[in-house]
Amino acid sequence: MARQKQQGFTLVEVLVALMVMAIVATMAWQGVDGMVRARDATQQRLGNNLQLGTVLAQWDVDLAAVQDSGVVPPLGFDGASLRLTRRSDAGMQLVVWSLKPDATGATRWLRWASPVVQRSGELQDLWLRSQQFQGGEAGQLEMLTGVSQWQLYYYRVNAWTNAQSSGDISPVDVAASGARQRERLPTGVRLVLSFAPGSGRAGNLTRDLVLGPQP
């Protein structure tokens, strides 16, 4: 009886099969890698949006609690820092929002809040010392990174104006009260944040807030 011919794959067939498997594996890996990258990008965007929402909520709280003490300006913006006095249950507090570079030159949006004080002299001292705010003070918080610049506008007399321009003088009887003349609080504040390339955010963000009437 003749021997039965042995069945099997030729070397060429094995090489072709291996090549097909390699191509399929590469395509599968690229698909998985794309899904992982998309997931990571989505998580980063969600994290950035959550952080931004938390920061803006604190901004709103600070501005909503602005109180004119009659001792120092309730709002003061010099282009780099915003100083405001806000009321609390135990007294008055000074808050500074400032845009400062770090050691690498990257910009950081910072917030610093003073202890609550009850004496006019203490509030005046805090206000004077805050004008030398350097960004390394104890108790400061880094709110956002990647902010290239920020601008503030006040709503006065039915129009938005630069926060660094002078406003209306509040009608104060200086002779009777001993208080100095001061600018009237605006009825609204507009915040414009510009984000640097590579910060994970793009373009400008504008946020308007209405200030409540002073008691």
Q: How confident is the model at residue 176 (pLDDT cuts 50, 70, 90)?
A: very low
pLDDT level of residue 41 (50, 70, 90 thresholds): low
Is the pLDDT assigned to residue 19 strictly greater than 90?
no
| Residue 87 DSSP class | E
- pLDDT tens figures, 100-110: 887 777 788 99
pTM value is 0.73
| pLDDT digits 0-9 by tens, 194-212 | 988 877 777 899 999 998 7
3-state per-residue secondary structure call for 151-209: EEEEEECCEEEECCCCCCECCCCHHHHCCCCCECCCCEEEEEEEECCCCCCCCEEEEEE
Among 33-42, 78-87, 131-140, the minimum mean pLDDT is found in 33-42
What residues pair up with 210 in beta bridges, in sequence order?
188
Q: What is the pLDDT of residue 6?
A: 56
Residue 174 confidence class, pLDDT cut points 50, 70, 90: very low
